[in-house]
Structure 1
Amino acid sequence: MKKSTWFILSGLLGALLLAGVVSNFASGHPDGLDSVAREGCTFDDQDQITGGNCMAQAETDNQTKDSPLAGYSVKGISNEFLSTGLSGVIGVLLTFGVGAGAFWLLKKKA
């Protein structure tokens, strides 16, 4: 195998490990954008907006909420650790496949 092939495969393996294992240890707290969007509102124990004025009040449901990989999990798998990890692995493989296909098409044209 060429050096570039080993490089690509080792990068893919690293991404798969990160997506499949490390993704389960990501913080469940709101990220920076969510935190800013919630500024100015008050919340109850169930994290529902009870008053104030903030961007989060204009939030709508995600249009892909019923998709197989919605919510960083795989629909139908009840084990949360496995579901999150598998969702990450599927995402990495899909992204790699689309990227590899695009490079393959561009290489054929050149």
Structure 2
Amino acid sequence: MRKFSIGFAVVSLLVAGVLSYFASGAPDGLDKTVEDTGIAEHAREHPLAGSALADYALGGDDAFTGVAGVLGVLVVLAVSFGLFWLLRKRSDVR
């Protein structure tokens, strides 16, 4: 299980850090539809729109998309590991 977990983490970090630079910057289908129908004119920014990792980039700079992806993966892995550790089945419980 340890080898699988380490392999999963490495692959996740590679996908987030390397492949994210090849992702399209063009809006996806939902964003395109919202823009075409005029709904975007009535939309408000969410409270975290100005945060450091907003729009899948570090500080809004597309050059740091991979860094933002790696940070996101690390946060998800840390939270997941913490939850699994807290919820694990303990052998000393009778």
TM-score normalised by L of structure 2: 0.83
Greater helix percent: which structure? 2
**Comparing both chains, which one has the higher relative contact order based on Cα–Cα distances under 8 Å and sequence gaps of 6 or more?**
2
**SS class of match (1:90):** helix
May I ask how many residue pairs the two structures share in their alignment? 91
Superposed counterparts of 1:1-110, under 5 Å: 4-40=1-37, 54-75=38-59, 80-81=62-63, 83-107=64-88
What fraction of aligned residue pairs are identical, expressed as a percent? 40
- Find the counterpart in structure 2 of residue 47 from structure 1: none
Aligned partner letter, 2:43: E
Greater strand percent: which structure? 1
For structure 1, the 5+ residue unaligned runs are 41-53
TM-score normalised by L of structure 1: 0.72
**Which consecutive aligned stretches of 4+ in structure 1 deviate over 6 angstroms post-superposition?**
none
| Structure showing greater Rg | 1
**SS class of match (1:107):** coil
CA-to-aligned-CA distance 1:49-105 (integer Å, 9 cap, x gap): xxxxx22121112321221212222239x6x43x11111000000000001100111
Shift in Å at residue 108 of structure 1? Answer: 5.2
